[in-house]
Chain A
Amino acid sequence: MIALLISGISVLALLQFFVSYCHALIAESRSYKLSEQTREICGVTTHATRSDEFKRLLQLIAVCPEPNGDQNQVRAISLYFGLLSLIRTLLGWIKPAVGQWIDSECNGCAQAAIVMLDRRIAYNRLLMARQMGTQL
């Protein structure tokens, strides 16, 4: 009985801690101001990024050389996005209740992805500018 109670409470605590941990990872990106170049490349017109753009953003990240090895961060966000997609698939029947929350979390992941892309674009522009400078 005690073991059952402990497992139940622990699973609930695990969910809350894990979601909060993921929020902490992507919190920084929520207030980030995107550059015009990134908006243009990604075709983003509104302030918020939609979750259905996440896969396309990952593809764009993959073709952009990484600054300071942020690949682990990309993996962590992809993992969280995958987990949310799985929950959405499994709990599709209670979509009205949980769906909104999952959508907002997925949007957060997409926002984090676009911020990473923005940093990579800025890094590549800097590299190009340096290269041009040395050639001249």
Chain B
Amino acid sequence: MSPADYGFWFLVSLTEITGVVCAIRHHALRRYLAFVIYLCVAFSLDAARYVISQTSGIESPQYYYFYYYSDTLLTIMLFFVLINLYARVFDDMGVGKYLRGGALLLLAGTACISYYMVNASSERLFTHFALEISQNLFFVGVLLTYLLWGAMVKMHENRSRVTQLVLSLGVYFSACAANFAVLNLHPQLAISKYILQITALWLPASWAYTFTKVPEEGRMATARVLAPNR
């Protein structure tokens, strides 16, 4: 690992812990439990990645496998975070049960399609599945977040905290989907690694900021976010 890798690893882990502390300190633990669990799991996986990189080396297949499959696990956990946000937005309509079912069905479908796509082309390595599924999962995340954001605008959702959490998730999903798609096209692209690290920093940092600075009772019209000069 280069000094830059160590630096990023330390910074990301620190931000994840900061996110958890901010959520607890600002009494958001119970309300945003899925977020806190995600941050805790992300921190644990970062620690495990560090241990594997030290024992097997950062270029080893073990690290490669662990990195991409743990990343897939984290992405799936982010879907639960997204479901939590959906449930929050559609709280009054009582459709939480259907939303959960639909999201899980979509998740399973994405995994099946990714497996089929890789399996269909025999010249590709099985490890390519990890890249393919990450790209597809993140893209489904982009679509689901976009759908949620559209619904929030239509329903005139005005909770500032929910708005910022949805938008930060949208930034993360779209940055990762774009990065993995580019990585799929050019697997040796060096800059992708740094983009991944920056995006890993984005999510806990923006959540920590939201939990700290945006009060639960804060209100802001979504129309103002879309067209601020109105």
Contact = CB atoms under 8 A, between A and B. Distances in A.
Nearest to B138: A10
Contacts of B146: 13
Contact of A23 (B142, B149, B224): B224
Nearest to B153: A20
B94 interface: no
Contacts of A14: 171, 174-175, 178
Nearest to A6: B181
Contacts, number: 86
Contacts of A23: 224-226, 228
B178 A24 contact: no
Interface stretch (B35-43, B58-66, B100-108, B162-170): B162-170
Contacts of A9: 139, 142
A6 B173 CA distance: 12
Contacts of B184: 3
Query: Size band of the B side of the interface?
Result: 20 to 34
Interface stretch (A25-33, A58-66, A117-125): A25-33
Contact of B177 (A4, A6, A30, A104): A6
Interface in B43-74: none
A25 B209 CA distance: 10
A80 B48 CA distance: 34
Given A17-B170, A20-B167, A24-B167, A10 B178 contact: yes
B182 interface: yes
B185 A20 contact: no
A58 to B, nearest CB: 19
Nearest to B205: A72
A11 B178 contact: yes
A3 B187 CA distance: 12
Interface residues of A, number: 27
B142 A13 contact: yes
Contacts of B206: 21
B229 A21 contact: no
A28 B220 contact: yes
Contacts of A76: 209
Given A10-B178, A14-B175, A108-B228, A3 B170 contact: no
Contacts of B213: 72-73
B160 interface: yes
Given A17-B174, A24-B167, A10 B142 contact: yes
A72 B209 CA distance: 8
Nearest to A23: B225
A85 interface: no
A10 B177 contact: yes
B135 interface: yes
A20 B174 contact: no
Given A26-B228, A30-B228, 16 more contacts: A6-B135, A7-B178, A7-B182, A9-B142, A10-B138, A10-B142, A11-B178, A13-B173, A13-B174, A14-B178, A21-B164, A21-B167, A23-B224, A23-B226, A27-B220, A27-B224
